[in-house]
A = this chain, B = another copy of it.
Amino acid sequence: MKAQMPIDFWFDFSSPYGYLMSEKIDALAARYGRAVRWHPILLGVIFQATGARPPVDGASSRASYMHNDFHRSARHMGIPYKPPSRFPLPTQHAARAFYWLQEQDAVLARQFAHAVYRAFFVDDRDISSPDTVLDIAARLGIDRAALAAALQDAALKARLKDACDQALALGVFGSPHVIIDGEPFFGADRLPQIERWLESGGF
């Protein structure tokens, strides 16, 4: 039996469909003997590099459709969701904190990522604030002062920038973007195709 490559999960902490994917991808992958590597990125950087406009822009009919679809899709998937009062938000502090934790404790980093997503999409907290990010970390037993210092570190900022560059090089253009053995799947609504791909090795 050949070794199974991990799945890569690219996402922005401000992405509702990224949140929905985050609640499902690990358990799904595990059923097929796969690990998942999580990679927070900044959609602002991706959109600027690709020349794309954000999918949710102001008061357009598309934007109002999408706000309704976020909520309906969450209900469809059985995932708690409360529309955040401020949306979207910048997420560089949360993403940097994730990469800092990842180097120390991958399990804790995963718990932190879930906690950030739920803070934003269930508890309506302002995850753009460094204080909120530190509060979330502290509740998981993470050293608040050490993380606060790390968030100022140039090497950590470069780590997030590298992740965005790597995403662009792989053709990532939005969130969530899941890559399985080179095959890309964009959107939480591709979960049924992801499952079929994992089951059959392609179709």
Q: Which residues of A contact B (CB under 8 A)?
A: 50-53, 60-62, 64-65, 68-69, 72-73, 75-76, 168, 171-174, 184, 186-187, 189-190, 192-193, 196, 203
**Dominant secondary structure at the A interface:** helix
Considering the chains assembled together, what is the distance between the CA atoms of A203 and B187 in angstroms?
A: 21
Contact B187 A64 (CB under 8 A): no
Considering the chains assembled together, what is the distance between the CA atoms of A62 and B186 in angstroms?
A: 10
Contact A173 B60 (CB under 8 A): yes
Contact A62 B76 (CB under 8 A): no
Q: Which residues of B contact A196 (CB under 8 A)?
A: 76
Q: Which residues of B contact A69 (CB under 8 A)?
A: 186
Contact of A76 among B64, B174, B203 (CB under 8 A): B203
Considering the chains assembled together, what is the distance between the CA atoms of A73 and B75 in angstroms?
A: 23
What are 12 A-B contacts with C-beta separation under 8 Å?
Answer: A51-B60, A61-B168, A61-B171, A61-B173, A64-B171, A65-B184, A68-B184, A76-B196, A76-B203, A187-B189, A189-B189, A192-B192
